[in-house]
A = this chain, B = another copy of it.
Amino acid sequence: MEEAVAGEPLERKLSALEELIQSPGHLRVNVQGAFIADEISWLDGTRHDISDIRLPRHTSVVSHVALDIGGSLAKLVYFSREPNSKELGGRLSFVKFETDRINQCFEFIKQLKSKQTALNGSKPNELVIIATGGGAFKYYDEMKAILGLEVLREDEMECLIMGLDFFITEIPQEVFTYSEADPMPFQQPRTDIYPYLLVNIGSGVSMIKVSGPRQYERIGGTSLGGGTLWGLLSLMTGARTFDDMLALADKGDNTKVDMLVGDIYGSDYSKIGLATNVIASSFGKVFRKKREGEKAAEDGNGMSNGDRADVEGNDKLDLAFAPEDISLSLLYTVSNNIGQIAYLFSEKHQLENIYFGGSFIRGHRQTINSLTFAVKFWSGGKKKAFFLRHEGYLGSVGAFLKRQPKNWGRRNSFEERFGS
């Protein structure tokens, strides 16, 4: 990595000393020279690299972890000193848990708590949880009781944009665009970032217009988000995890279930500018095919409409649609829809750059491709879709960094942008 540790050892030690004498409430996270620790790996079309971020210049005690508890996932960010004592600095690590198994998350934090001295040089009981997301409210009492630690809550949207700003401005090889020719051309860290639209895709989708430091507004959103995809796919396919569903989608052919323009017209309907392979109706082939099959298979087995979903009995009638095809179609449906609505809100608010964050994306190539395509298609190539390697951790990183003191940084600091 080009951005390795630089500067005089003595200078760094003095700097560390200075950091150490800060009050615990004024922790300083030195993000200078931060970089992503590991190489990128694409596996089966999906990026598997929620890599640590190295903070080579940060040496002071860090006595907090940050936790963003969403509707489906809880995202944790914590700091640890480099275990190799020859290196100064430390690293940010990223872990996620299912919100329904939030106790696993609390158990993990308990372990971090017990190891604080080794990890950070602080005492276990000094650990503070900076919590954000809906669960920061919902699980507040439980969290405090189980962990026996102080819990500070931070506003979700503020954390999201602080986290995003950090990734955009400070971390090389973090932000990228997508094209089939070059799947991950990285953007250099930049400072001229405003205004932009943040589309945060979790269980649902929030769209936030960011005009400047701490100038933001939730301008829209849609309830068709990750929760919709995972929920419907868990009803319709045998897949039990997000990754299983994405793996299915990778093998799917959506034209088996989607109705294309060509299926309706038989040829291009050039007058409205739609090519035959454009999806006219997502899942538009299912109803007709299913009825055809049922008609053929009907033998008076007495099924009635009042039956519950689980006795629907596809197996008996052999009318199955492949879970691969269903998965890809639904992935396209949800992604295209988010991309289109993001475009429309960006158009309404005259925003050219759209950053897609949130746990839904999971570095999945087809998802990223689909969001990129929708923005490009609807904007006629005028608007740009950006993605992040740590897309799911905007809120938790933002919460982690919100404990910045006023005097922390030199170049292009959060302080300049966010104030205290």
Contacting residues of chain A (269-288) with chain B, CB-CB under 8 angstroms: 269, 271-273, 279-288
CB < 8 Å neighbour of A323 from B240, B308, B348: B308
Write out the residue numbers on chain B whose beta carbons fall within 8 Å of the beta carbon of A303.
Answer: 238
Contact A235 B321 (CB under 8 A): yes
Contact A231 B292 (CB under 8 A): no
- Complex Cα–Cα for A222 and B339 (A): 11
Determine whether A203 belongs to the interface, using a CB cutoff of 8 Å to chain B.
Answer: yes
Contact B235 A291 (CB under 8 A): no
Write out the residue numbers on chain B whose beta carbons fall within 8 Å of the beta carbon of A305.
Answer: 237-240, 244, 247-248
Contact B240 A294 (CB under 8 A): yes
- Complex Cα–Cα for A223 and B395 (A): 32
- Complex Cα–Cα for A258 and B135 (A): 17
Contacting residues of chain A (331-385) with chain B, CB-CB under 8 angstroms: 333, 336-337, 340-341, 344-345, 347-348, 378
Contact A137 B306 (CB under 8 A): no
Contact A234 B286 (CB under 8 A): yes
Contact A264 B337 (CB under 8 A): no
CB < 8 Å neighbour of A230 from B222, B287, B292, B307: B287
Contacting residues of chain A (302-338) with chain B, CB-CB under 8 angstroms: 303-315, 318-323, 326, 333, 336-337
Identical copies in the complex? 2
Closest to A318 in B: B310
Contact B320 A310 (CB under 8 A): yes
- Complex Cα–Cα for A258 and B71 (A): 11
Contact B304 A309 (CB under 8 A): no
Determine whether A164 belongs to the interface, using a CB cutoff of 8 Å to chain B.
Answer: no
Write out the residue numbers on chain B whose beta carbons fall within 8 Å of the beta carbon of A397.
Answer: none
- Complex Cα–Cα for A258 and B227 (A): 9
Q: A204, A257, A285, A292 — which one has the most chain B CB atoms within 10 A of its CB?
A: A204
Contact B344 A100 (CB under 8 A): no
Write out the residue numbers on chain B whose beta carbons fall within 8 Å of the beta carbon of A231.
Answer: 257, 281-287, 290
Contact B134 A281 (CB under 8 A): no
Determine whether A150 belongs to the interface, using a CB cutoff of 8 Å to chain B.
Answer: no
Contact A266 B333 (CB under 8 A): no
Contact A226 B281 (CB under 8 A): yes
Determine whether A118 belongs to the interface, using a CB cutoff of 8 Å to chain B.
Answer: no
- Complex Cα–Cα for A319 and B70 (A): 24
- Interface mask (A157-169 → B, CB under 8 Å = 1, otherwise 0): 1000000000000
Closest to A138 in B: B266
Instruction: Give A277 Cβ to nearest chain B Cβ, in Å.
Output: 12
Determine whether A38 belongs to the interface, using a CB cutoff of 8 Å to chain B.
Answer: no
Determine whether A259 belongs to the interface, using a CB cutoff of 8 Å to chain B.
Answer: yes
Instruction: Give A209 Cβ to nearest chain B Cβ, in Å.
Output: 13
Write out the residue numbers on chain B whose beta carbons fall within 8 Å of the beta carbon of A307.
Answer: 238, 323
Contacting residues of chain A (211-254) with chain B, CB-CB under 8 angstroms: 218, 220, 222-228, 230-232, 234-240, 244, 247-248
CB < 8 Å neighbour of A309 from B237, B273, B285: B237
Determine whether A18 belongs to the interface, using a CB cutoff of 8 Å to chain B.
Answer: no
Contacting residues of chain A (191-205) with chain B, CB-CB under 8 angstroms: 202-204
Instruction: Give A291 Cβ to nearest chain B Cβ, in Å.
Output: 7
Write out the residue numbers on chain B whose beta carbons fall within 8 Å of the beta carbon of A240.
Answer: 291, 294, 305
The 6 listed contacts between A and B (C-beta, < 8 Å) are: A135-B264, A157-B271, A228-B283, A236-B312, A238-B307, A244-B305
9 nearest interchain CB pairs?
A227-B284, A231-B283, A134-B264, A231-B286, A227-B281, A310-B314, A138-B266, A203-B281, A344-B344
Interface, chain A (partner B; CB < 8 A): 70-72, 98-100, 133-135, 137-138, 155-157, 202-204, 206, 218, 220, 222-228, 230-232, 234-240, 244, 247-248, 257-259, 261, 263-267, 269, 271-273, 279-288, 290-292, 294, 303-315, 318-323, 326, 333, 336-337, 340-341, 344-345, 347-348, 378
